[in-house]
Structure 1
Amino acid sequence: MIVKRLKREWPLHLLLLPGIAMAVLFSYVPMAGILIAFEKFIPTRGIFHSPWVGFKNFAYMFDYPDIDRIMFNTLFIAFMKIIGGLLVPIAISLLLNEIRKEAFKRTVQTLVYLPHFLSWVLLGGILIDLLSPTSGIINQFLGWLGFRPIYFLGSNAWFPYTLVVSDIWKEFGFSTIVYLAALTSINPSLYEAAEMDGAGRWKQTWHVTLPGMLPIVVLMATLSIGNVLNAGFEQIFNLYSPIVYESGDIIDTFVYRVGFEQVQYGLATAVGLLKSVVSFVLVAMSYTMAYRFAGYRIF
């Protein structure tokens, strides 16, 4: 039976070979670099001939003076992004669902979706100009209202919230499309029955729309758990500076500086490996929770 299937389907298996080869070459072979986390890595001696130090890199990581602050920044920024990334798209999708003019509705959907396709390299330059304390349009507007300039990208009090707001603005359009798709699956007869019972738009939203969206909301929330340690390297790297390391330095930026600027490859790999292990556990938990509470499974 298996031989017959292989004879019949061998062209399909042949088509898979390039993808499998790419995955092995670029995803599995580089995993040998994990060994660097347990070595005093010397580039000239290579991975397999550098001195073995065991768990010393991990011990040094936990004794690093700023590791507590870095972990707090990572979790604080990531949690705020996750919460904002759930609430804002839900609110926007509910508002868009009430619009009856399809042309205007589709125009708004397109406009809020566009920033998702822009890179943080481009958006970083735009935000630096917009938020400049001297020439930025935001601070000029605040000046017209009588407020003093705010150093959004140069103040430890403002920088984390600037990151969160700008990330939500960039990404909420994508999640909004997901929730709008979920709204289309709600049976229209439920709204008709609620209206016959005297329910207004608000009660229909509360008792029909939100319960209908709940499985997708639970799914998106559980899947986002795996991103708890991913506070957004590309965004922060393009916006931060040494003056806001106190509030903006996260695990990924720390790994970058330690590995490439301080040339401590073993320590950087140890931190990255620990993050990967924790993220793997969280992703596994999130998929288990998604299957249990939302009936979602990928395999």
Structure 2
Amino acid sequence: MPEFEKQLDEKAAEAEAVIKKFLPAEEGYQKTVIEAMNYSVMAGGKRIRPVLMMEMFRLLGGSDMELIRPFMAAIEMIHTYSLVHDDLPAMDNDEYRRGRKTTHVVYGPGMATLAGDGLLNYAYETALKVFFCKEELKPFDGDISDRRAKALEILTRKAGIYGMVGGQCADIEAEGKAEATEEELIFIHENKTAAMLESSMMIGAILAGADKKTLDDIEMAARKIGVAFQIQDDVLDVTGDEAELGKPIGSDEKNEKTTYVTLHGLEDSKAEVKKLSDEAIQILSGFEGAGTFLIPLVTWMISRNK
């Protein structure tokens, strides 16, 4: 795995450089909220979502990186805002993420809330920069023919009430229930977690020239990856090492959350992770070159220990 890890570090560094380029300058009367925004974004991590987007773009023949960079930065801003809000006292009330203090601990809950709001809005400001790129794109054979507009529609929908926000809503309502149903749980996983992975991979594909059939296949693969990723996260919340994870374990039990593990147990949860992973990889195997980095990345994501 050392060769893969080297590739991942290189691609994460490339994504990091893109993200930094689009961050707002820390100045003016709004300087504090911008500092909190940038503190949150620069908390580290492997930049999985922008890396997935970049990889799908290149895999499907995309060449002009100016098309994809605004969306790479935007997807990470949206992901980060969701973490900032997720960590708030009104939500999960976590004090550490990726081994350092969360935004609300450093800047206070009010400023952290504003930082999340700022990141979400600034993500859309950033994504709109794609319309400044002069690259000619062939029409898309789906519901929206303009590929830039379709990419923006995917980004906004998957982040909103029919995606991540909707999943977060169901997640909050499931807390404290005697037991959420499996249907509710899968809805939460497909929307709270998988939707943003779908967004990443679909935007990379649409801007590279994918047709509707290809886009639908990628959406399905990403959904399976996202659900498997979240079930693995639930497993790690029970079995993981706090120092290695960089965040507290046992938070699901503390918050009285029903998880796949509480419904099915550890062994069946691990088996479901493998099943979904295999199904996703089977779809992705149809794309030439996917075995070089994309499939190892998916395998690493789903089998991770942190």
Q: What's the TM-score once normalised by structure 2's chain length?
A: 0.30
Higher helix share: 1
Q: Which structure is richer in relative contact order (CA contacts within 8 A, separation 6 or more)? A: 1
Q: Which has the larger radius of gyration?
A: 1
